[in-house]
Amino acid sequence: MSSVLPLPAQISSVLSVIPPEKIAGKRNEVVTAEFHLQLRGGYHVNSNTPNDEYLIPLRFTWSGGAAQAGEVIFPKPQQEKYQFSPKPVSVFTGDFKAQAKFKVVSNGVVNGKLRYQACNDRACLPPRVIDIKVPVEVRN
């Protein structure tokens, strides 16, 4: 019993993120950057505040770089009822925006990751991470 079954067709990401062109402001100024998130039709992702401890939240994380990350503001989640859920699930669907605050430190880039876990009404995809890179510009 050593056979290997064929690999499935590659499943491309069901969530894409369009970051702002750049984060720009005076040194130490706190600016708001808007991230557009686009989810493939028929899918949902858990919101940043799922109502089940086992569910994986939508989360941005930032590492060092030219801007100091602050609060992330997500839209109000939808409470959707699916065939698999006895109670409504806190999710995002379709296109939506998240805003993140950054304190401008220097010229350069800020690196981030968006972790998400997507499902449709009958199956779930494993948690995935999208790498994000946004240029930072200090204005005088």
Residues that bind other proteins (CB under 8 A): 1-9, 11, 42, 54-56, 82-85, 89, 117, 119-127
Radius of gyration of the chain (CA): 18
Contact 51, 90 (CB under 8 A): yes
Nearer to other proteins, 41 or 140 (CB): 41
Nearer to other proteins, 12 or 140 (CB): 12
**Minimum separation from the CB atom of position 35 to other proteins (A):** 23
**Minimum separation from the CB atom of position 40 to other proteins (A):** 9
- Phi/psi of residue 54, nearest 5 degrees: -85, -15
Contact 140, 62 (CB under 8 A): no
Helix (H) or strand (E) holding 119: strand 118-119
Nearer to other proteins, 5 or 140 (CB): 5
Nearer to other proteins, 2 or 140 (CB): 2
Q: 51: which 2 tokens?
A: 């109502």
**Minimum separation from the CB atom of position 54 to other proteins (A):** 4
The C-alpha atoms of residue 138 and residue 77 are separated, in whole angstroms, by 34
**Minimum separation from the CB atom of position 93 to other proteins (A):** 14
Contact 130, 114 (CB under 8 A): yes
